[in-house]
Chain A
Amino acid sequence: MDFTLRKEHEMARALFREFAEKEVKPLAQEVDETEEFPRETAAKMAKNGFLGIPVPKEYGGQGCDPLTYVMCVEELSKVCGTTGVIVSAHTSLCCDPIMTFGTEEQKQKYLVPLAKGEKLGAFGLTEPGAGTDAQGQQTKAVADGDDYIINGSKIFITNGKEADVYVIFAVTGTIEKRGRKIKEITSFIVEKGTPGFTFGTKEKKMGIRGSSTYELIFTDCRVPKENMLGKLGQGFKIAMHTLDGGRIGIAAQALGIAEGALERTIAYTKERKQFGKPIAALQNTQFQLADMATKVQAAQLLVYKAAMAKATQKEYGFEAAQAKLYAAEVAMEVTTKAVQLHGGYGYTREYDVERMMRDAKITEIYEGTSEVQKMVISAALLK
């Protein structure tokens, strides 16, 4: 077993790192303060192919593998968690399901501009009563001639108001499964500007404050039948499959945040003097840094393993769940320790670790809470 990266991955990492340092890092604090979506950065990422990394070239993408995509989210998140999740939600939650379940026409119409970065994507599954319990969907889609009419709302939607293309889930009926009546859920591609599709309130969040998190409202929103993604009733499967991939993206975001916090803490502890010497000379600091670095490395191996599983295996939900569970916990732990090692300064907005600690928390919650990841992992162990 060889952990050496291939040449193309080394080069890609260098590219993402340079881009993150030059284009993203200088804006990270401002993006957090103003809660403004970093449109210029998104446009630069589009221009440089960052919005279609794992999409094949014939569909406008870069034709790279999931590991390259993961490294992109990781390096961006090292300096700005907001920028990391913009790429992750667009790629994993919108490009990927259209790539996997879309018809050729849907791929040409939606995936090509998404992968080229001409359009931004989002994913709408969560509702006020349907978080972890995705079956609790209330949004309905009713067939009417050549269309479906969608009514309902989605909340906490990343890239909310900024996106152009949305993969949406709605109840289309009820079906019987193992003697139980359950909701039949179907997936649709909805374009911004479709009559009846509007935006509700913007969420004011603890972290990733520049990401545009909105409520999506559908009022008699008419969507043509050809915009159904996959088959009628396949929505739940599409959602779960999509989230398996999404979790690898969020795991990469968590990993990046942890790495960023560790990097800054190493630098700070070498500079900060107390009792006449840098605090890095104190054994407590050294042991904390050792623990942080070891966990970050372990998280990276799990995240990369999950990315490789996505490249080579049909099912990778187990690897994705482990990567996300662990990387998110590490992100929270490492950023908390980073703030602690920065002392009072770490609690101020002048230092990046304060933002990173707030950004880290969401990685334990969205695209499946840590508890959901444990359910997925244990279910696979006990089946």
Chain B
Amino acid sequence: MKVVVCIKQVPDTKGGVKFNPDGTLDRAAMMTIMNPDDKAGLEAALRLKDQYGAEVTVLTMGLPKAEDVLREAMAMGADKGVLVTDRVLGGADTWATSQTLAGALRNMEYDLIITGRQAIDGDTAQVGPQISEHLNIPVISYAQNLKIEGDSVIVERQYDDRYHVLKAKMPCLITALAELGDPRYMTPGGIFDACKAEITVWGRADLKDVEDSNLGLKGSPTQIAKASDKVRKGAGEKVTLDPAESVDYIVGKLKEKHVI
């Protein structure tokens, strides 16, 4: 069984966010982490490796420094890493990104493709389903649990107040929620191996069956009017109460706002 996990290096929101003049993120200038939903997806894939001996490949598109996120994934247990990097791919929106990743995936063998539900930088949740469209395979999004049965995958898809159980024949794509599992730590030995391992690096020329008009900033239908870091919504309210009163106060506020 071959699993490809699409992962993304995203800004570490603890480190502050920086923008290019065109409104896109200045990724080179920021502290980065592996996107949390992708990490949960990787954990799910690694559990399939533990259980069924699946081969896990991690795939990312990004700057050359996105190699770091692949090595992190490999230090957690992924077998191979593929980096798609090319200047012509820069500034891609979800459409151009999914086209790029699909172009890379057409060169790869897979039974299951896992992507995170969404990345914390764009929060669109579009790339996974778009990849499945480009590759013409089924998608099950918002997976909170998954298991393999023969040549099918059975997924619990999270819904507002319930979950759906869906079965799809592989190859298929699922988008992962954090509920799939707490990501494991890297191991020290895994780190040493990952740093020695060879990463496959692909450029534009290596992408299969993708038009130039669907790539990079030029291939991105999304136009960013304005981008900003998180903006504080006022100073908030500070009250000093004993613990019991505090609970009542918070519960009252939540009721007032119809949260509970």
Chain A residues proximal to chain B, CB less than 8 Å: 6-8, 11-12, 15, 18-19, 48-50, 53, 57, 61-64, 68, 72
User: A11 and B71 in contact (CB under 8 A), knowing A62-B192, A63-B192, A64-B192?
Assistant: yes
Interface pair A11/B189, CB less than 8 Å apart: no
Residues of A within 8 A of B150 (CB): none
Chain B residues proximal to chain A, CB less than 8 Å: 71-72, 75, 184-192, 194-195
Assembly CA distance A47 to B194 (angstroms):
19
CB-nearest residue of chain B to A68:
B188
Interface pair B195/A15, CB less than 8 Å apart: no
Interface pair B187/A48, CB less than 8 Å apart: yes
Residues of A within 8 A of B185 (CB): 15, 18-19, 48
Interface pair B195/A72, CB less than 8 Å apart: no
The 8 closest A-B pairs by CB, nearest first: A62-B189, A49-B187, A8-B195, A62-B188, A11-B191, A64-B188, A15-B186, A48-B185
Assembly CA distance A12 to B185 (angstroms):
11
User: A11 and B72 in contact (CB under 8 A), knowing A62-B192, A63-B192, A64-B192?
Assistant: yes
Assembly CA distance A53 to B75 (angstroms):
14
Residues of B within 8 A of A49 (CB): 187-190
Residues of A within 8 A of B188 (CB): 12, 15, 49-50, 53, 62, 64, 68, 72
Interface contacts beyond A11-B186, A48-B184: sample of 8 additional A-B pairs, CB < 8 Å, sorted by A: A7-B195, A11-B194, A15-B185, A15-B186, A15-B188, A48-B185, A49-B190, A68-B192
Assembly CA distance A18 to B195 (angstroms):
19
Residues of B within 8 A of A68 (CB): 188, 192
Assembly CA distance A49 to B184 (angstroms):
12
Assembly CA distance A204 to B195 (angstroms):
44
Assembly CA distance A53 to B189 (angstroms):
7
From residue A122, how far is it (CB to closest CB) to chain B in Å?
A: 22
Assembly CA distance A11 to B195 (angstroms):
9
From residue A14, how far is it (CB to closest CB) to chain B in Å?
A: 8
From residue A66, how far is it (CB to closest CB) to chain B in Å?
A: 12
Residues of B within 8 A of A64 (CB): 188-189, 191-192
CB-nearest residue of chain A to B185:
A48
Interface pair B75/A57, CB less than 8 Å apart: no
Assembly CA distance A12 to B191 (angstroms):
7
Residues of B within 8 A of A61 (CB): 189
From residue A25, how far is it (CB to closest CB) to chain B in Å?
A: 15
From residue A21, how far is it (CB to closest CB) to chain B in Å?
A: 12
Residues of B within 8 A of A63 (CB): 189, 192
Assembly CA distance A72 to B189 (angstroms):
13
From residue A220, how far is it (CB to closest CB) to chain B in Å?
A: 41
